[in-house]
Structure formats: structure tokens, C-alpha cells
Structure 1
Amino acid sequence: MNSEQEDTAIRLQLLATRLLRLARSAHGKQGIGSAQYSALAVLYERGPISVVELARVERVAHPTMSRIVGGLEKLGAVERRMELQDRRQRQLVLTAPGRALYESISVNRVEAINTVLARMSAGAARELAEALAEAIRSMEQRD
């Protein structure tokens, strides 16, 4: 890695941290952290999946995801349901309150990001979104 690329990587890491902090502030008094929000987002987008699959998607260890899911269960946002085909298996299901929680936080996050984007030109905002999408695709292909 050359010096300019390393400087850019360091700068992007710092910017990503600040952007995540901004997004987390949109959680308000909802009482969930970023990892829990991310798990809710996966369940919202994909529907019922196992803890093992959710851990794989989120790239965390199974015990870590079990703790995250346990917190969401205590909030009533997620429940485990028995698989009809294999009663030994459990699927995580987003409850109605969990769906409402995700949607509420998502709206707040979008508003926070829109505040930032409103200070940029439309072209710069579009370029930023495209560059981030390309970077994420590249990272996902690497794994």
C-alpha cells in the first residue's frame, strides 16, 4: 500500500466512524445499539433466518449474535419460532413491535443523513453513494 492510499484509508476509517456515530444518534431513546439495529435490518430485509445465518451475514461469532438476539428478544422485537420442517431448528422472526422499531429508527437515520447530504451538491452526493457502494461490493467480494 502506498503512502497516499494509506492516508486515504485512515481518513475514510475516521469518516466512517463519524458517520456511524451520526447514524447512532438517530436511535434516540429507543434503547438499542448499532449491532442490534443491524440485526433488525437483516431480519427486516430477508425475513426469518437462523441465529447461525444471521451471525454469518453480520460477520460475527455465533455467541455474539446470540447475545444481540437475546437483547432484542427482551425488547419484544424478535422471537424464535420453530421450523415446521425440522422442529429442532429455530428461526428468528421480526415481531410487529420489532418492525415498527426498525422503521422508526430507519426514518430517523435517513433524516440525519439527508441533513448531511443537503449541504452537498446533488452530483457530489450521488458520487459519494456510488463510491461507497463500489467499496462495499469490493469488500464483500474479497471475503
Structure 2
Amino acid sequence: MATIAEQSAELRMATFRLSRRLRAQKADQGLSDAQFAVLGVLYRHDALTLTELAEQERVSAPSMNRTVNCLEESGYIERVADDLDRRKANITLTASGRDVVKATISQRDAWLTTRLRELSKDDRAALARAAELMGGLATQ
């Protein structure tokens, strides 16, 4: 029987491999993982400042600014002056940005659904339970 340390390593590696396979499923292959992560954050939060985005992604403001500039040049996001403080810019998704996030989510879900259909009912149930447990671990 494997030790907890060995199980931990196996879970880490399996999670990493699955995550990498899912990240490869993108509507725009030119987007880096970091760029898509920013689009995902904006998809969930509507509008954030550069500082808020940097905090969400745990990167420096200059690094986030480079990412935002690339996404803005690609037409996926825009900076909009804040209604209350004109010195502050809120960063929001454009229609194209929202579309690429939705298409990527759909593509990733379709890829995973295809893989899950290949498994037995018992294996799918085991993964459903594992997803619950992993979600709990992620919040600790």
C-alpha cells in the first residue's frame, strides 16, 4: 500500500497532467495560459482595475500591465474610465473576449465529456466524489 506521501505525489502528477490537457483546449491557440486566466477572471468579475487583476493572479502590476496590453491589442479586453474616478481605468471583456472564453469553456467541457464517456459508471462516480474532495482541499 502506498504511503500518504506517495499518494500525494501521484495525485499531484495526475492533477497536473489533466490540467495541462484541459488547458490545451482553447478557442484561440495564440493565447498563453496567463492571458486566458485573465480573461477568465474578468468573465467571472465583469470589471476590475489593473491592481485588482494583478492581486487576483498573484503577479506584479507591471507584469499584469503587459498581459493586459496584449489582450487589449488582440481586441479581447478594453479599458474604460471609472465613472467616479476618471484617473482609474476598469478593465472589461469585449464581446470577442467573452466569446473566446465561452468557446474555450465549451471546448474544454466537450473534451472532458468525451473522456468521461469512455469510463464505466463506477469510475465516473469515483471521479465525481474525487472532484468534491479536491474542491474541498482547494479551499483549505
Aligned-residue CA RMSD in angstroms? 1.8
Amino acid corresponding to residue 73 of structure 2 in structure 1: K
Secondary structure of 1:26's counterpart equals coil
TM-score computed with the length of structure 1 as normaliser: 0.85
What residue in structure 1 maps to residue 43 of structure 2?
Answer: 44
Q: Which structure: larger Rg?
A: 2
1:29 positional shift = 4.6
In the superposition, relative to structure 1, how do residues 86 and 104 fare at CA in structure 2: closer, same or farther (>3 Å)? same
1:28 positional shift = 5.3
What residue in structure 1 maps to residue 102 of structure 2?
Answer: 103
1:117/1:125 contact within 8 Å kept: no
2:28/2:100 contact within 8 Å kept: no
Runs of 4+ in 1 over 4 A off after TM superposition: none
What residue in structure 2 maps to residue 123 of structure 1?
Answer: 125
What residue in structure 1 maps to residue 85 of structure 2?
Answer: 86
Amino acid corresponding to residue 84 of structure 1 in structure 2: D
What residue in structure 2 maps to residue 141 of structure 1?
Answer: none
In the superposition, relative to structure 1, how do residues 123 and 95 fare at CA in structure 2: closer, same or farther (>3 Å)? same
Amino acid corresponding to residue 85 of structure 1 in structure 2: L
1:107 positional shift = 0.6
Unaligned runs of 5+ in 2: none
What residue in structure 1 maps to residue 21 of structure 2?
Answer: 22
CA distance in structure 2 between the aligned counterparts of 1:84 and 1:78, rounded to whole angstroms: 18
1:23 positional shift = 1.3
CA distance in structure 2 between the aligned counterparts of 1:28 and 1:99, rounded to whole angstroms: 11
TM-score computed with the length of structure 2 as normaliser: 0.86
1:129 positional shift = 1.4
Secondary structure of 1:88's counterpart equals coil
1:13 positional shift = 2.5
Unaligned runs of 5+ in 1: 139-143
Deviates more, 1:76-85 or 1:56-65: 56-65
In the superposition, relative to structure 1, how do residues 5 and 68 fare at CA in structure 2: closer, same or farther (>3 Å)? farther
Secondary structure of 2:131's counterpart equals helix
